[in-house]
Amino acid sequence: MALAGGVAAAAGCSDHGTYQVAWQFAGADPQTGCGQHGVDSIRVIGTNGGGDTDNFVALCTAYQLSQSVPVGTWTFAVHQIDVRGVPIDPKDDQGNLLAPTAAGDVGKDQTIWLDPMTVELTPRPACSDGIDNDGDGRVDLDDPDCMGDSNGTSEAPP
């Protein structure tokens, strides 16, 4: 994950600030679209020490989002959502959830880029991403090239 943070003053007068977070897919060209990974939207779920919560969903087209929240110290988790509205929960080899998290202090009338500023999303394997990766009209486990393995990394024949 890229680590960077910063605070920029913004105009206005309220007890709210704004967080911004950007994303990219691990191991992919930064210009690779979300749809090519079977991702429709991004959900950011946040909580702060004052008992406030934020649950914001944005279409995964702009590669970043901004959201206004009450001032405070916030912790956020970033999740991928597929076209059916189902969370995509990639896991590492040990079965641990790979939902990136970010934290930061959101100040009054300020915009903060969360630290880490850009989160890396882990794409699903080609045989479970909901995409016809090899263009043969068959998707995931319906594609014989996946050989029944939802963790397969290619729909193309070996």
d(CA 119, CA 5): 12
Residue 10, pLDDT score: 36
Predicted pLDDT of residue 119: 65
Distances from the Cα of 108 to the Cα of 3, 5, 43, 71, angstroms:
23, 17, 24, 6
Fold classification of 6-123 is Immunoglobulin-like (2.60.40)
Rounded to the nearest integer, the mean pLDDT of the chain is 76
Quote the DSSP letter at residue 35: G
Mean pLDDT of 7-21: 61
> What digits encode the pLDDT tens for the residues 129-146?
888 888 899 888 898 888
CB-neighbour burial class of residue 64 (10 A; exposed 0-12, middle 13-18, buried 19+): middle
- With cut-offs at 50, 70 and 90, classify the pLDDT of residue 3: very low
- Helix then strand then coil, in percent of the chain rounded to 5, is 10, 45, 50
pLDDT single digits (tens) 35-91: 888 889 988 899 988 889 999 898 887 778 888 888 888 888 888 888 888 888 777
CB atoms < 10 A from the CB of 139, how many?
Answer: 18
The answer, as to whether pTM is greater than 0.75, is no
pLDDT of residue 31: 66
Which residues make up the CATH 2.60.40.10 domain(s) of the chain? 6-123
